[in-house]
Structure 1
């Protein structure tokens, strides 16, 4: 049957049929991809987050479906799908790690961020070496955000002492200095050493994967000769690319805003 998606009645029928197909694929045919799509359907179409949460969890636990592990990790972290829940970072980490072990790049990214970021919940122990492994795997799986974050870690370095540590994805290339009156930091004071060559390599990959901020950093690195030979032509090239990406993001945002406003009362 052909559907006219401009007709409200056809849209409703099409959407309901999707739900039936996903349920059949999940519960009768035992297909994990159908179960995950059912979770997406319950989340995005029905807005039934409690049921979506249960579907994602069971699809991860029963079938080892990586994307469902990642999604349930998100739900657990936010407390989504459970009335009155403030979220459980430890459960979230458990499912992110499971998803990462199943080679989901986003799950690896979030596993790593929970371990290396000082702004994360206290329930998660700060573990930069292990977090670095997760982030590196995520980058190897072509996650642009992970590559960009790794670049930032190597730009500033990660210090051992928690009160001195600042694990951030830097918005620009450069190095940090100890506060006035304190002796210069030694290599032994760092868990991750400052390494502009590695920072450049990670930024280059992140830019190739269309991370706008990495392209901007790459431009600065070429302009200053940080981690790579100074090259004004390349600096201008990546500056232009970053600005083009910025324009694309702005256009997408403007288009979305316009579409959302169509038919809305004044």
Structure 2
């Protein structure tokens, strides 16, 4: 059946048929990819976060679909579709998702395990978190590579309360779980930049300019600065397009 998507009734029918198709593919054909699409449909079209969460959870636990683990992990993280957020539950889903090959889940697990602050209810485990972040970076997640670069830039203190960003001399005498290593910081920053992280590109430019972790090179510094600028412009253009999309009726 052909639909005229300029007609409101046809659009409604098309959307309903899409839901029926996804339900059949998920519940009858038991296809994990289609179950995930059903979750997305319930979330984005129906705005039914409770049902969407149940689909994501089942697809994660029963079918071991990493993207759904990431989704239900994010639901638990912010409390979507439930009474309140549960960071411990979120970590459990992120770890499952990472195990099932989803780099975004590895990133979130790593960030939770290395995070600090009064609202973080997950026990800090920097070595374990580092391994998750490294696995995510190895699977080309630009944010994980950027995060790792930052860890090596400043180092990761054993006791966060001992670290004072305004007193570098004092910081030399405290115990670190990960010591500052500008060569490692540069390696991860460069990879993050190559994967499209504009902040990492800006850091690489500065490292080349100062000779931090890499031999000083003015030309390379300029090149990466220009790359950071072009990525920023592309990001701003994308945001503008998303904002304007559909405003003129096109």
Where on the TM-score scale, by shorter chain, does this alignment land: which range? over 0.9
Q: Distance in 2 between matches of 1:143 and 1:189?
A: 29
Q: Please report how far the alpha carbon of residue 61 of structure 1 lies from its aligned counterpart in structure 2 after TM superposition.
A: 1.0
Aligned to 2:177: 191
Three-state SS of the structure 2 residue aligned to 1:163 is helix
Aligned to 2:167: 178
Q: Distance in 1 between matches of 2:39 and 2:136?
A: 24
| Residues 59-111 of structure 1: per-residue CA shift (max 9 Å, x gap) | 111111111111100101111012xx221111001000111111111100000
Aligned to 2:115: 117
Long gaps (5+) in structure 2: none
| Residues 143-194 of structure 1: per-residue CA shift (max 9 Å, x gap) | 000000000000000111131358xxxxxxxxx66367x4x624x7111011
Q: Which of 208, 211, 219 is residue 225 of structure 1 equivalent to?
A: 211
Long gaps (5+) in structure 1: 167-175
Q: Mapping of 1:118-137 within 5 angstroms?
A: 118-119=116-117, 121-137=119-135
Q: Mapping of 1:81-120 within 5 angstroms?
A: 81-82=81-82, 85-119=83-117
Tell me the TM-score normalized by structure 2.
0.94
Q: Distance in 2 between matches of 1:255 and 1:69?
A: 30
Aligned to 1:70: 70
Aligned to 1:21: 21
Q: Mapping of 1:232-251 within 5 angstroms?
A: 232-251=218-237
Q: Distance in 2 between matches of 1:36 and 1:203?
A: 32
Tell me the TM-score normalized by structure 1.
0.88
Q: Which of 236, 239, 243 is residue 253 of structure 1 equivalent to?
A: 239
Q: Distance in 2 between matches of 1:231 and 1:185?
A: 28
Three-state SS of the structure 1 residue aligned to 2:72 is helix
Q: Distance in 2 between matches of 1:139 and 1:55?
A: 28
Aligned to 2:36: 36
- Say whether the 8 Å CA contact 1:178–1:185 is kept in structure 2: no
1:205 aligns with 2:191: yes
Q: Distance in 2 between matches of 1:144 and 1:137?
A: 12
Q: Distance in 1 between matches of 2:107 and 2:121?
A: 18
Q: Please report how far the alpha carbon of residue 251 of structure 1 lies from its aligned counterpart in structure 2 after TM superposition.
A: 1.3
- Say whether the 8 Å CA contact 1:114–1:120 is kept in structure 2: no
| Residues 228-250 of structure 1: per-residue CA shift (max 9 Å, x gap) | 11111111111111111111111
Q: Distance in 1 between matches of 2:246 and 2:116?
A: 37
Q: Which moved more, 1:246-255 or 1:62-71?
A: 246-255
Q: Distance in 2 between matches of 1:216 and 1:41?
A: 38
